[in-house]
Amino acid sequence: MAPKVLRVGGVVRPPGDKSISHRAVMLAALARGKSELSGLLTGDDVKSSARVLRQLGAEISRIQESGVWVSGSRLQAPGSRLHCGNSGTTARLMLGILAGQKFAATLTGDASLRRRPMRRVTEPLKQMGADIKERGDGLPLTIRGGKLRGLTYSSPVASAQVKSAILFAGLTGQVPVTITEPYRSRDHTERLFAHLGLGIHERNGAISYQPSALSIPSFNVSVPGDISSAAFMVAAAVLAEGGELLVENVGVNPTRTGVLVVLKRMGAHVERINLRDEGGEPVADLFVRPAALSGTEVSAAEIPTLVDEVPVLAVLASRARGSTVFREVGELRVKESNRLELIAANLRGLGVRAQVLGNDLQVEGTEKAPRGRVETAKDHRLAMAFAVLGTVDGANVKLSEQKSVAVSYPEFFRDLDRIYARRTTHDAR
Ligand code: S3P
């Protein structure tokens, strides 16, 4: 049988940005009056935030991409535990919101989320005066908010979730907060605060929120597509053997575009066209052509700008000429799975040389077709990254499961099929 030549083609639109969707729903629930949000991610994680906010008294219509309305009000004590599902962003940002509320609430989550560290958030919130009862460094835990004091905090990790939790605590507790972090993490919270006229500013890398007497106004916002989801389609197009792909409506906030910077260094052709602004966030369409890649070094300073794209970049590195190293990616051990070990182990299982050295990840490129089984550990980004690897010629990649993609990209497999000009089967399915 002649080898199949994988040609990509057409146009694809990634789902709404997960980080912005969480923040928009949360801020709308805190605002006075009715807000309209369009382009929201309909994935499970955002549904977790909406469910928790409804338990706290917010009225939120069904989460759909075309539009969601949120009627904000004063939050009320929940009747039962707040289940955050698989979503670290829900748990950590809600802790910030709850720190300023005069009632107790217990948060929990699925087995993956219960294993993830929460002290990075509970420590600063306790310093602000929140009363938090925790059994270890994780969920379940009970928070009783109330009267808070201001905080100046130097975070040991570059984490937008930590930063945002503190900003939300400042907002709901009406106290000033200032945060510095080792490297700048994604700044969607800051941008939304600025968009709503809330007192936020940055000086020499320190982010400060200064409360004003005003309540949060209701707002309308259109959420751009998620670059972290777009990255999988971009990667599939880069690995194809011909054609071109347009990925429309992608958020290109510079705190998130590290994947594009690294792809360019590796030799990929990804052009940003039709640059525009949506609710304080830069948005573009990405025009992608297949390319031969070479290995690169991804520095520690770049990691926060591509932290969720390491799985897909590692997969691309396995198809590049030479070796690639990702410096200081220890944080990947505490994502939805131990992503660091699982990326390396799964690549090895497919015949790729990959190893974890301290906190660095090294991947050697190969031309051999990847063949074998991938353990996703129900981690959506591992499932999608390895499904993309399963599209290369001669590949036979079997995923342990596929359902986890619903967390951030429910239509992932449909889109992956669609982008091939000539329909092909990819063995990952
Ligand atoms: C997120 C921040 C990042 C990222 C996660 C979403 C956010 O986590 O990995 O997918 O929306 O703030 P950390 O804050 O733990 O780096």
Does the Cβ of 160 fall within 6 Å of ligand 1? yes
Give pLDDT tens digits for 327-374: 999 999 999 999 999 999 999 999 999 999 999 999 999 999 999 999
What whole-number distance in Å separates Cα of residue 189 and Cα of residue 103? 24
Question: Which one of 41, 90, 121, 161 would you pick to mutate in the ligand 1 pocket, going by the greatest count of ligand atoms within 8 A of its CB?
Answer: 161
Give pLDDT tens digits for 380-391: 999 999 999 999
Query: What pTM does this model have?
Result: 0.97
3-state SS, residue 239: helix
Does the Cβ of 90 fall within 6 Å of ligand 1? no
Does the Cβ of 19 fall within 6 Å of ligand 1? yes
pLDDT computed for residue 2 by the predictor: 43
Does the Cβ of 159 fall within 6 Å of ligand 1? yes
Give pLDDT tens digits for 115-165: 999 999 999 999 999 999 999 999 999 999 999 999 999 999 999 999 999
Is the predicted pLDDT of residue 48 greater than 60, yes or no?
Answer: yes
What whole-number distance in Å separates Cα of residue 145 and Cα of residue 136? 19
Does the Cβ of 49 fall within 6 Å of ligand 1? no
**Nearest-atom index, ligand 1, CA of 23:** 11
- Which residue has its alpha carbon closest to ligand 1 atom 4? 308
Cα(52) to centroid(ligand 1), Å: 19
- Which residue has its alpha carbon closest to ligand 1 atom 11? 19
Give pLDDT tens digits for 295-320: 999 999 999 999 999 999 999 999 99
**Which residues are bridge partners to 354 per DSSP?**
363
Work out whether the CA dihedral 417, 422, 426, 429 comes out positive or negative.
positive
What whole-number distance in Å separates Cα of residue 88 and Cα of residue 380? 13
Cα(159) to centroid(ligand 1), Å: 6
Tokens of 153: 């905090």
Cα(84) to centroid(ligand 1), Å: 15
Does the Cβ of 337 fall within 6 Å of ligand 1? no
Residue 402 CB partners (closer than 8 Å, separation 6+): 383, 387, 413, 429
What whole-number distance in Å separates Cα of residue 347 and Cα of residue 120? 31
Active site residue 277: no
Query: What are the start-end ranges of the E strands in 141-279?
Result: 141-144, 151-154, 177-180, 200-203, 206-209, 220-222, 242-243, 245-251, 269-278
Pairwise pLDDT comparison (83 vs 3), residue with the higher score? 83
Given 17, 187, 226, 308, which residue is catalytic?
308
**Distance from the Cα of residue 353 to its chain's centroid:** 27
